[in-house]
């Protein structure tokens, strides 16, 4: 898809978009409406009559697996993950035909980067200097105790002042006034590192309202050396067109709905928050850099794309689920012991990871726990649960049964101190606390057992198949069948 407009047309075409023409208030009211729709698994919403603004507001565009996968060019998330796995598992070609095929794949990947163009729809309207006015944008005040309106679906572009590498991340932006915001660059994020590496101002551009692949790419946990726009190009099957910003030396997606341009300075900090976060709790006021806005560019009839976060389930669950499935092939390259992974809804991304292992030796599950704590942002996971390979990690009931049944507190629990998510309110210190791992696998000799481990109760395959074949003749109707 080229832009947000095509995505809206696609959502409308499959009946996954509801247009609301009644007047709605961006101060709390849109949140209450969207929260009910998200928790019911409802459609994307396009509010066309927003109080105090001429801009429509799009929300909940990613609020189901169907929409999430469709936005990334697939029918389901595992299908898209398989495409990534095919690239990740490329081996040095042996024969002539293999070399030709590999060369074609590499050429395709090389063509999916970015292309700089002279101008783009995002600059049809240009406001600079005293003309900049963020009051034109219907930025949501989401929850009652929030410190103000927050841009919650921003694509924040910056460059590492040391290497020049581009980063695009999704960091909330609090509006302070017409030309000032706060930039929520947490301690573990690449943008924060750019700020620490800088000797002065860091140019920043915040793009809002792009096609779904570009928007998703901003949330992806890529290492600093990899460009999020290349991932977006791979997902959408076409390079991303970028255009130079008007007031800052930085490029932005040419087809975005709007771009907020400006700069931050490590020496210019202020209060940011509180904010009703994806954890289901408010994060308190803390010191973050001011984002001084030098330009606001947009389409003539711009659409404001946003989301809300809070007590799950919310739309952001599906963004996180996409990352879980799409990055699993890459994680398995680093940790081949890992069979499958689930970041459950109740864990709000960083509180719990359920993983499975095909054990080959005593202590294998504990090795996997430590491996997870050494993997990028998964290192911040507060709780890791390991089950055997034949357990469906997405069946939380089955996982809970193993955790409650198989874990001995003195033998199967690992506790260690280390970095935790900056939003972890239970940690005794900011971004530092204790993490726990549970080995919920069946125990082997050599893993601290002094009596035989019992077999699980399971019917034989022969009897199960015989009953399956006879079921229609039995006249028994099961609820939900």
Q: How large is the average pLDDT for residues 291-315?
A: 96
Q: Which of 190, 227, 277, 412 is catalytic?
A: 277
pLDDT on residue 109: 55
**Does the pTM of the predicted model rise above 0.85?**
yes
Specify the 3-state DSSP secondary structure of 383.
strand
Q: What's the fold here for domain 89-305?
A: Pnp Oxidase; Chain A (2.30.110)
Q: How large is the average pLDDT for residues 182-209?
A: 82
Q: How large is the average pLDDT for residues 383-391?
A: 97
Residue 241 has pLDDT above 50, yes or no: yes
Residue 136 has pLDDT above 60, yes or no: yes
pLDDT on residue 113: 75
Q: Which residue, among 171, 145, 169, 148, has the nearest Cα to 157 in the 3D structure?
A: 169
Q: How confident is the model at residue 88 (pLDDT cuts 50, 70, 90)?
A: low
Beta bridge partner(s), residue 342: 354
In what helix (H) or strand (E) does residue 317 lie, and over which residues does it extend? helix 316-334
In what helix (H) or strand (E) does residue 182 lie, and over which residues does it extend? strand 180-183
Domain ranges of the chain: 89-305, 335-439
Pairing mode of beta strands 282-283, 44-47: unpaired
Cβ atoms of 211 and 118 within 8 Å: the answer is no
Tokens of 336: 């081949």
For the chain, give the number of residues: 481
Residue 70 has pLDDT above 80, yes or no: yes
- Which residues have CB under 8 Å from 50's CB, separation 6+? 23, 24, 25, 26, 30, 56, 57, 138, 304
Q: Is 113 exposed, middle or buried (0-12, 13-18, 19+ CB in 10 A)?
A: middle
Q: 113 versus 208: which is more confidently predicted? A: 208
Q: What is the pLDDT of residues 422-478, one digit of tens each?
A: 888 988 998 899 999 999 999 998 898 778 899 999 999 999 999 999 999 999 999
Q: How confident is the model at residue 163 (pLDDT cuts 50, 70, 90)?
A: confident
Specify the 3-state DSSP secondary structure of 425.
coil
Pairing mode of beta strands 17-20, 44-47: parallel
Cβ atoms of 287 and 269 within 8 Å: the answer is yes
Residue 99 has pLDDT above 70, yes or no: no
In what helix (H) or strand (E) does residue 305 lie, and over which residues does it extend? strand 304-305
d(CA 330, CA 341): 12
Q: What is the pLDDT of residues 358-370, one digit of tens each?
A: 999 999 999 999 9
Q: Which residue, among 2, 8, 234, has the nearest Cα to 117 in the 3D structure?
A: 2
Q: What is the pLDDT of residues 13-44, one digit of tens each?
A: 999 999 999 999 999 999 999 999 999 999 99
Which listed CATH number (3.40.50.720, 3.50.50.60, 2.60.40.10, 3.40.1670.10) goes with 335-439? 3.40.1670.10
Residue 91 has pLDDT above 50, yes or no: no
Buried b (16+ CB within 10 A) or exposed e, 199-228: eebbbbbbbbbbbbbbbbbbbbebeeeebb
Rounded-to-10 torsion of CA 466, 468, 472, 478: 130
DSSP 261-302: EEEEETT-EEEE--EE-TTSSEE--EEEEEEEEEEEEE-TT-
pLDDT on residue 104: 46
Q: 445 versus 481: which is more confidently predicted? A: 445
Phi, psi of 142 (to 5 degrees): -80, -50
For residue 428, the Cα-to-chain-centroid distance in whole angstroms is: 26
Q: How confident is the model at residue 110 (pLDDT cuts 50, 70, 90)?
A: low
d(CA 477, CA 464): 17
Q: How confident is the model at residue 350 (pLDDT cuts 50, 70, 90)?
A: confident
473 is catalytic: no
Cβ atoms of 422 and 430 within 8 Å: the answer is yes
Q: How confident is the model at residue 253 (pLDDT cuts 50, 70, 90)?
A: very high
DSSP letter for 138, please.
-
**What percent of the chain stands above pLDDT 90?**
73
Q: Which residue, among 438, 293, 342, 396, has the nearest Cα to 77 in the 3D structure?
A: 342
Specify the 3-state DSSP secondary structure of 125.
strand
Q: How confident is the model at residue 400 (pLDDT cuts 50, 70, 90)?
A: very high
Phi, psi of 158 (to 5 degrees): -155, 170
């Amino acid at each position: 898809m080229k832009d947000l407009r095509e995505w809206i047309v696609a959502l409308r075409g499959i009946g996954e978009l509801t247009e609301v023409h009644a007047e709605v208030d961006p101060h709390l009211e849109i949140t209450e409406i969207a929260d009910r729709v998200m928790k019911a698994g409802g459609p994307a919403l396009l509010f066309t009559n927003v109080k105090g603004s001429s801009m429509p507001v799009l929300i909940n565009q990613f609020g189901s697996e169907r929409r999430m996968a469709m936005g990334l060019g697939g029918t389901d998330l595992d299908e898209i993950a398989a495409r990534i796995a095919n690239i990740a598992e490329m081996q040095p070609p042996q024969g002539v035909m293999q070399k030709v095929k590999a060369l074609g794949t590499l050429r395709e990947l090389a063509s999916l980067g970015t292309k700089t163009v002279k101008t783009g729809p995002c600059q049809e309207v240009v406001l600079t200097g005293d003309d900049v006015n963020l009051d034109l944008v219907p930025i949501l005040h989401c929850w009652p105790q929030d410190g103000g309106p927050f841009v919650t679906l921003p694509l924040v572009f910056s460059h590492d002042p040391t290497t020049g590498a581009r980063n695009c991340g999704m960091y909330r932006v609090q509006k302070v006034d017409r030309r000032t915001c706060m930039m929520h660059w947490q301690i573990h994020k690449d943008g924060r590192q750019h700020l620490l590496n800088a000797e002065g101002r860091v140019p920043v551009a915040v793009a809002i309202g792009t096609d779904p692949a570009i928007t998703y790419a901003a949330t992806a946990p890529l290492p600093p050396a990899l460009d999020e726009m290349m991932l977006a190009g791979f997902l959408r099957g076409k390079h991303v067109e970028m255009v130079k910003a008007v007031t800052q030396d930085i490029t932005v997606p040419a087809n975005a709905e709007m771009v907020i341009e400006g700069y931050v300075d490590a020496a210019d900090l202020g209060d940011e928050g509180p904010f009703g976060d994806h954890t289901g709790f408010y994060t308190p006021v803390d010191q973050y850099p001011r984002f001084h806005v030098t330009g606001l560019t947009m389409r003539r009839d711009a659409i404001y794309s946003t989301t809300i976060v809070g007590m799950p389930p919310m739309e952001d669950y599906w963004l996180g689920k996409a990352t879980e499935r799409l990055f699993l092939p890459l994680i398995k390259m680093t940790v081949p012991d890992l069979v499958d992974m689930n970041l459950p809804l109740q864990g709000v991304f960083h509180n719990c990871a359920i993983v499975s292992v095909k054990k080959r030796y005593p202590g294998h599950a504990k090795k996997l726990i430590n491996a997870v704590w050494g993997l990028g942002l998964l290192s911040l996971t507060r709780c890791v649960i390991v089950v055997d390979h034949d357990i469906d990690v997405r069946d939380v009931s089955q996982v809970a049964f193993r955790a409650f049944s198989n874990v001995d507190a003195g033998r199967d629990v690992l506790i260690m101190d280390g970095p935790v998510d900056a939003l972890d309110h239970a940690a005794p210190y900011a971004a530092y606390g204790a993490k726990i791992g549970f080995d919920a696998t069946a125990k082997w000799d050599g893993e601290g057992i002094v009596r035989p481990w019992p077999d699980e109760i399971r019917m034989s395959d022969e009897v199960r198949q015989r009953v399956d074949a006879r079921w229609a003749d039995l006249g028994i109707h099961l609820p939900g069948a």
